[in-house]
Structure 1
Amino acid sequence: MQTKQLRIGIVGTGMISNITAQAINAASNATISAISGRNTETLNNFADQHQIASRYDDWKKMIASPEVDAVYIGVPTSAKEEIAIQAAREGKHILVEKPFADFESLKRISATARENKVAFMDATHFTHHPRTKKIQENAAAQIGTVQGVHTSFFFPFLDRTNIRYNTQLEPLGAIGDMGWYVARAIVEYMPNASEISDIRTFIQRDPQTNAIYRGSGMIEFKDNQISNWDIGYNAGVCIMDLDLLGTEGLIAMDDFVLDWSKGFAFDDENHIAGYTLRKGMATPKDFEYVGSPTDKAQTVHMVENFAELIFHGNGQTIESVIKKAEDTQFILDSISNSIQG
């Protein structure tokens, strides 16, 4: 019997939409039914590349189409709210690229999704990798009570023509882009972290564009859990480190954002995704590597999980997904509001 297919319309033809289109085409339970974009040449090139027949130069017409069940929104941050709210009002489920303009904007989107009884998921890839669930299930037994998470996310990127350096379209720069992963790591790996008791954030701005291209900080929660983080575009190396510190050990990854084997920027067929477990005074020869292999990219898992949420989810599961987006944006807003220099 053929698997039911979620028909997804894509808004936006940029780089991240291209990655998501590849994932939809590789998913077992989803298909691209339409694409919308403002530039006719770019729109047609995108549609030809991904074999999309229905093409719209107006996203409003596309989301009103009966051939669209759900909408993926891969546009600049400043444009996401209007499209997401309109799509939800049309009864379309929404998968929205992160980050959002701010917590209030996200709450308006989530409220509309709830009112219209549609699914709303943010497009964070790493949360859908099987490794994330494995760590969540095993952390207490392997490292005891989680005390903190440290993240370090850098890649060399000084292309000032990129949208990340446009302070009008992406006002938070690296904080909004890479800081989202800092916040989401807290939500995923320290779910009991409650009210923030102290937060410090420091930034560096690009001297040419004034965009934020480096950030570092610390968040202390009232239950004594702590997150330290460091992000930026201005280092000459790609770093994707995450350390989850427990009372009895440490879980560590060096590819927590995009896994080395199937991340869209990497394709090391010899690498097995997983994490390193360390305890006590163990030296490198005693570290244990816990594999979590998968035959699919985490982007494909994301699309399939989105479709599964729509086909088989209930109010509780849909609400839990929305809540993670809200919690992540709340932490990101707290970071941006605490910028000190």
Structure 2
Amino acid sequence: MSKLRLGIVGSGMIAGVIANAVRQVESIELVAVASRRPISAKAFAEEHGIDQVFDTWQEMLASSVIDAIYVATPTASKEEIAIYGAQNKKHLLVDKPFASFESLENIIKAAKANAVSFMDATHFTHNPRTKTLNNLMQEEIGAPQAVRTSFFFPFMDRNNIRFNIEKEPTGAVGDMTWYSMRAIAEYLKPTVPVKTVSGGIVRDEETNAVIRGSGVLVFEDGKSSTFDFGYNAGTCLMDLDVLGHEGVFSMSDFVLDWKNGFAFDNQEHVIGFTKRTGMQLPKEHKYIEADSSFPQSVYMMKNFADLTANAKSKENVQAQHLALLTQQLLDKYWEAVA
């Protein structure tokens, strides 16, 4: 079976994470890179052993040397690149977030029209723990009724693109709240419209970029989610609670697991989550193991390669649904607070 030939558009930190993940997946090979800064693309290629460097992403996407692309560019340019890729019959893996629900719809429509696969690059979706938690939820804690998340990363570098409101207009909302919205999609699985949404954001005084915020989403059936996010808490927080009717599932690393997340390397840690019920003391809480041997980015790349085998598969439909629901919820929050 031939390998999926991948080209990367972008040469930043997250592109490097994917390049490292590809090396651990037998069904994919990384063969090309293009970046808005050719010097960066050449350095990236040398670092990761990539044979071909293109001067522009247009040339790479139009070429016959790749079958699929990973788009790791600023949000403002993703739609144009992804649609051009689809029109050139390239499967699409696109980093989050998207400019809007409409923009994401346009990308998915282009993928369908050209019979190529689409998936957004949300890593924790592919962590085996996510499937384990969902499989055990009904039996262990009952049907979910609320999700609480808190995602902070200590990052106040004003020279970073996250603080450029032209390229990343939603700032920490798109960068961080995407994961809170994906947690809603993954674990709460709403099937009815949002009834109310509220919250607030804090902007950086120098750049006007969004650096912190919080919010509440309530659905028409009473299910709800509360969330906090940002760059300025001075520490990393990745807390998640899924509230059932008979208990709670909790974890402190829902975005990047402590064992293999690209920001961490703690091989002694056993990936999993905690179950709390009744009036238990902390020592009585049950830790449910859901350990895995590889980084979640590796599982994501393997799943993406599998996805490209059939662009009309139920797995493709599910990937599109998760992306659209996540962006839809994100847009509703942004409209309420911007």
Normalised by the shorter chain, which TM-score bucket? over 0.9
Give 1:49's match in structure 2, choosing from 32, 47, 50: 47
Which of 96, 104, 107 is equivalent to 2:105? 107
Residues 1-341 of structure 1 mapped to structure 2, 5 A cutoff: 4-311=2-309, 314-339=312-337
**In 2, Cα distance between equivalents of 1:167 and 1:188:** 29
Describe the SS at the equivalent of 1:164. Answer: helix
Q: Is the 8 A contact 2:71 2:81 kept in 1?
A: yes
CA distance in 2, matches of 1:117, 1:95: 14
* Alpha-carbon distance in structure 2 between the residues aligned to 1:288 and 1:132: 17
Give the 4+ runs in structure 1 shifted more than 6 A. none
C-alpha RMSD of the superposition: 1.1
Residue type at the aligned position of 1:267: D
Shift of 1:175: 0.3
Amino acid at match of 1:74: A
State the AA in 2 paired with 1:103: F
Aligned-residue offset at 1:136: 0.9
Q: Distance in 2 between matches of 1:139 and 1:217?
A: 25
Aligned counterparts of 1:315 and 1:296: Cα–Cα separation in 2: 25
Equivalent AA in structure 1 for residue 172 of structure 2: A
One-letter identity of the residue aligned with 1:127: T
- 1:325 and 1:301 map into 2 onto residues whose CA distance is 18
> Equivalent residue of 2:278, what SS?
coil
Deviations 1:70-103, CA, capped at 9 Å, x for gaps: 0000000000000000000111100000000011
How big is the shift at 1:314?
A: 4.2
| Greater displacement, 64-73 / 37-46 | 37-46
Secondary structure of the 1:223 match is coil
The aligned amino acid for 2:201 is: I
TM-superposition CA deviations, 1:198-242 (whole Å, max 9, x none) = 110200011111100001010000111010000010111100000
Q: Secondary structure at the match of 2:337?
A: coil
Could you tell which deviates more after superposition, 295-304 or 190-199?
190-199
Q: Secondary structure at the match of 1:272?
A: coil
Distance across 1 between alignment mates of 2:84 and 2:312:
22
CA distance in 1, matches of 2:209, 2:235: 20
Kept after mapping to 1: 8 A contact 2:190/2:219: no
Give the counterpart letter for 2:160 in structure 1.
Answer: N
**Distance in 1 of aligned mates of 2:191 and 2:270:** 30
Q: What CA distance in whole angstroms lies between the structure 1 residues aligned with 2:130 and 2:2?
A: 26
Tell me the secondary structure at the aligned position of residue 127 of structure 1.
helix
Residues 151-160 or 32-41, more deviating? 32-41
1:9 is matched by which residue type in structure 2?
Answer: G
Instruction: Report the AA paired with residue 296 of structure 1.
Output: F
Compute the TM-score of the two structures, normalised by the length of structure 1. Answer: 0.97
CA–CA distance in structure 2, aligned partners of residues 133 and 253 of structure 1: 14
C-alpha displacement of 1:193 = 4.3
- Conserved 8 A contact 2:45-2:51: yes
The question of whether the paired residues in 2 share the 8 Å contact of 1:193 and 1:225 is answered with no
In structure 1, distance between residues paired with 2:274 and 2:137: 12
Kept in 2: contact 1:98–1:122 (CA 8 A): yes
Superposition TM-score, scaled by structure 2 size: 0.98
Contact 1:201 1:336 (8 Å CA) reproduced: no
**Which stretch of the first structure deviates more once superposed, 325-334 or 38-47?**
38-47
Structure 2, unmatched stretches of 5+, are none
CA offset at residue 316 of structure 1?
Answer: 2.4
Contact 2:150–2:228 (CA<8 Å) still a contact in 1?
yes
Q: How many Å separate the matches in 2 of 1:212 and 1:131? A: 31
Q: 1:313 to 1:270 in 2, by over 3 A?
A: farther
Partners in 2 of 1:208 and 1:199 — Cα distance? 28
